[in-house]
A and B are shown apart, each in its own frame.
Chain A
Amino acid sequence: MIRLTLLFTLFAVSLFAAGDATFEATKRDLNIPAIIMFFIFVGATLGITYWAAKRTKSASDFYTAGGGISGFQNGMAIAGDYMSAASFLGISGLIYLQGYDGLVYAVGFLVGWPVILFLMAEKLRNLGKFTFIDIAAYRLGQKEIRTLAAFGSLSVVTLYLIAQMVGSGKLIQVLFGLEYEYAVILVGIMMIIYVTFGGMLATTWVQIIKAILLLSGVTFMAFMVLNHFGFSFEALAAKAVDTHTKGQALMEPGGLVSDPISAISLGIALMLGTAGLPHVLMRFFTVGNAKEARKSVVYATGFIGYFYLVIAVIGLGAIVFLNSPAGAEFFENGQLFGGNNMAAIHLSKLVGGDVFLGFISAVAFATILAVVSGLTLAGASSISHDIYACVINPKASEEQEIKVSKISVIVIGVIGVILGIAFEQQNIAFMVGLAFAIAASANFPILFLSIYWSKLTTRGAFIGGFIGLMTAVILVILGPTVWVSILHNEEAIFPYKYPALFSVTAAFIGIWFFSITDKSGRAEEEIKAFEAQSIRAETGIGAAGAVDH
């Protein structure tokens, strides 16, 4: 009942927003092709959600699409989770603004993949059931580890969610002339519908469709940009250097990662963070076996790698095209309309006209919806599976667990909307950087050591993981982003933007120290249980299969 009331309230607000939109939009040119494409996409995905809702009955269906997704489909979906609005809009915006530094982010986001594959993907598939926390809690104290890891997971989900919400707000603002706040609320409502009704199956298919549309869209944009320069990347770069105020510095690393500590810290966060992202790790449980899990990583790495290479062309293209006379219409008082994150969207109009702008806008919006859905599902699983069903009420039935999931989805959706509005002015790629720092410091060390280190104990994992989480959160708050940009203090207490170097180290040392000094009987049992765990991780014997629920 509470849920229904909440939904109706949100709908009422969105109707009000729609009414307001027609007034606002007239002065910003209503973009008919964009709106038509947007409605086609929404219609199609709601159809999928309806289809998925009929097939989503058990908890396994809700969390993992029943384990029936193929390696190729899962690879597409992982790539979809990765090619988020923060990647697409944020990295193209970063390259537009800073040049090469944007590519440094892209490289860091990508190289996490091979490492996950070589050292973890298979073991995750063999040991886990619904969430990656299943693995950390496999032979350790369920209550402590699940509670802690769920908090780590939720912090990451929330930060990442903010980045997506900000992207969506800006985007719809530009596209429909809708107020930022209403745009964010609209995304929240759509996402809640997909996830509560369609679960992981709907979320996965929305993600796959969007990945295909996005890859086609950016390919066309890059083609048009390069076509203008006779397919010479050198000629494009030369023109970009000519146009941009940074000049030749555009082609060099520097601006964003100006000091060694920041560069190393960002590198650690991007790489290890990938291995600790709850919504991406969760995808390994949607495939039938370890073989499919491995294949999915190859497809994902291929798609993501291609995407980032193409984004570099788009970023440089945006510099050239938007600063040409034809691009003047996108500036308001010398500022890019909608902010620098909109560079790729404006470029789409210049290279493909109104219809293509409509396509790219609809795709970008789809991107946000899909990623936000995946994130929310991961967050809700942590609450319902790791906290509710394993800690608070171990006797919970599947129905109860699914019910808690759905309520959590709504709560996370509402929180995402509120924070999305509060953090309007932040660069979204940067917000993702923060999410990665927490994923790298709180989730990754526990996960990694639980797979590889036989002497890990509950006490070590709990205290060490807690130290990692708190260090990351506190350093982010005391750092330049929150302390100066948001709280408007003069100077940051912690001078670096990226805390990962310190927080990851703190987590590993903490876990090591509190494990080896743990001489309790329970610790002895846990160390002994490592052998059985490791056999299952290696061979999959006893692993949760696709249909054994």
Chain B
Amino acid sequence: MEECMNDELVQRIRSNPKYQELVKKRTGFGWKLGIFVLAMYYIYILVIAFNPTALATKLSDEGVMTIAFPIGAGIIIVSFITTIIYVVKANGEFEDLTNQVKEDVKDAL
């Protein structure tokens, strides 16, 4: 079902500087954004776990609204924005690099 990659092709792609650039940049970018979202979420969960009253703080003295609502909604919205940021970069810059790598090894496929 798959085209098998021989050792020669593997070596050729691996030593291609554009491939190295692609992997380095994309992996770095993906992990940075990933860790950002993970950190945001687990801080939220840890606050709920160890200090839920912190989220019970009211936004105003007269109202009933607590800070928990905008924080929950904010995490949802920020998660969405980070996916857009990633895809704009991945479908532009990273996709171009990928295509260049493919172009460089085209004859060997």
Stretch at the interface among A3-11, A293-301, A430-438: A293-301
Q: Is A186 in contact with chain B by the CB < 8 A criterion?
A: no
Q: Is A516 in contact with chain B by the CB < 8 A criterion?
A: no
Q: Is A263 in contact with chain B by the CB < 8 A criterion?
A: yes
User: With A106-B76, A535-B14 as given contacts, are A251 and B64 in contact (CB-CB < 8 Å)?
Assistant: yes
Determine whether the beta carbon of A257 is less than 8 Å from that of B48.
yes
Determine whether the beta carbon of A535 is less than 8 Å from that of B87.
no
Determine whether the beta carbon of A111 is less than 8 Å from that of B41.
yes
Determine whether the beta carbon of A118 is less than 8 Å from that of B31.
yes
**Bound Cα distance from A483 to B42, whole angstroms:** 29
Chain A hits for B22, CB < 8 A: 538-539
Q: Is A122 in contact with chain B by the CB < 8 A criterion?
A: yes
Q: Digit string of A110-131 for contact with B (CB within 8 Å is 1, else 0)?
A: 1101110111001000000100
The number of inter-chain residue pairs (CB within 8 angstroms) is 169
Q: Chain B contact residues (Cβ within 8 angstroms of A): what range?
A: 35 or more
Chain A hits for B66, CB < 8 A: 100, 251-252
Q: Which residue of A lies closest to B13 (CB)?
A: A535
Determine whether the beta carbon of B65 is less than 8 Å from that of A233.
yes
Q: Digit string of B75-88 for contact with A (CB within 8 Å is 1, else 0)?
A: 11101101110110
Determine whether the beta carbon of A248 is less than 8 Å from that of B64.
yes
Least distance between B18 CB and chain A CB atoms (Å): 10
Q: Is A104 in contact with chain B by the CB < 8 A criterion?
A: yes
Chain B hits for A294, CB < 8 A: 86-87, 90-91
Q: Which residue of B lies closest to A535 (CB)?
A: B13
Determine whether the beta carbon of A115 is less than 8 Å from that of B5.
no
Q: Which residue of A lies closest to B95 (CB)?
A: A291
Q: Digit string of A236-267 for contact with B (CB within 8 Å is 1, else 0)?
A: 01100100000010011110010111111011
Determine whether the beta carbon of A100 is less than 8 Å from that of B79.
no
Chain A hits for B14, CB < 8 A: 531, 535
User: With A119-B31, A308-B76, A538-B23 as given contacts, are A129 and B55 in contact (CB-CB < 8 Å)?
Assistant: no
Q: Is A234 in contact with chain B by the CB < 8 A criterion?
A: yes
Q: Chain A contact residues (Cβ within 8 angstroms of B): what range?
A: 35 or more
User: With A110-B76, A241-B64, A535-B10 as given contacts, are A267 and B42 in contact (CB-CB < 8 Å)?
Assistant: yes
Determine whether the beta carbon of A253 is less than 8 Å from that of B68.
yes
The 8 Å CB contact of A535, one of B5, B63, B68, is: B5
Q: Which residue of A lies closest to B12 (CB)?
A: A535
Determine whether the beta carbon of B37 is less than 8 Å from that of A111.
yes
Q: Is A211 in contact with chain B by the CB < 8 A criterion?
A: no
CB contacts under 8 Å to A, within B16-32, are 19, 22-23, 26, 29-31
Q: Which residue of A lies closest to B4 (CB)?
A: A542
**Bound Cα distance from A122 to B89, whole angstroms:** 14
Q: Digit string of A278-306 for contact with B (CB within 8 Å is 1, else 0)?
A: 00000000000001001101100110010
Least distance between A101 CB and chain B CB atoms (Å): 9
Determine whether the beta carbon of B90 is less than 8 Å from that of A122.
yes
Chain A hits for B19, CB < 8 A: 535, 538-539
Least distance between B25 CB and chain A CB atoms (Å): 11
Least distance between B40 CB and chain A CB atoms (Å): 8
Most-contacted residue by chain A among B1, B48, B50 (CB, 10 A):
B48
Least distance between A62 CB and chain B CB atoms (Å): 15
Determine whether the beta carbon of A298 is less than 8 Å from that of B41.
no
CB contacts under 8 Å to B, within A294-341, are 294-295, 297-298, 301-302, 305, 308-309, 312
Chain A hits for B23, CB < 8 A: 538
Least distance between B30 CB and chain A CB atoms (Å): 4
The 8 Å CB contact of A305, one of B26, B41, B68, B80, is: B80
Determine whether the beta carbon of B75 is less than 8 Å from that of A107.
yes
| A contact residues vs B (CB 8 Å cutoff) | 100, 103-104, 106-108, 110-111, 113-115, 117-119, 122, 129, 233-234, 237-238, 241, 248, 251-254, 257, 259-264, 266-267, 271, 291, 294-295, 297-298, 301-302, 305, 308-309, 312, 531-532, 535-536, 538-542, 544, 549
12 sample A-B contacts, Cβ–Cβ < 8 Å, listed by A number:
A104-B48, A117-B87, A118-B34, A233-B65, A251-B65, A252-B55, A252-B68, A253-B48, A253-B52, A267-B45, A305-B80, A542-B3
| B contact residues vs A (CB 8 Å cutoff) | 1-5, 10, 13-14, 19, 22-23, 26, 29-31, 33-34, 37-38, 40-42, 44-46, 48-50, 52-53, 55-56, 63-66, 68-69, 72-73, 75-77, 79-80, 82-84, 86-87, 90-91, 95, 98, 101-102, 105, 109
What 10 A-B pairs are tightest by C-beta distance, nearest first? A263-B49, A267-B45, A260-B49, A252-B56, A118-B30, A118-B34, A251-B66, A241-B64, A542-B3, A305-B76
Supply 9 further A-B pairs (C-beta < 8 A) apart from A114-B34, A114-B37, A234-B64. Answer: A107-B41, A110-B79, A119-B34, A253-B52, A253-B56, A309-B73, A538-B23, A538-B26, A538-B98
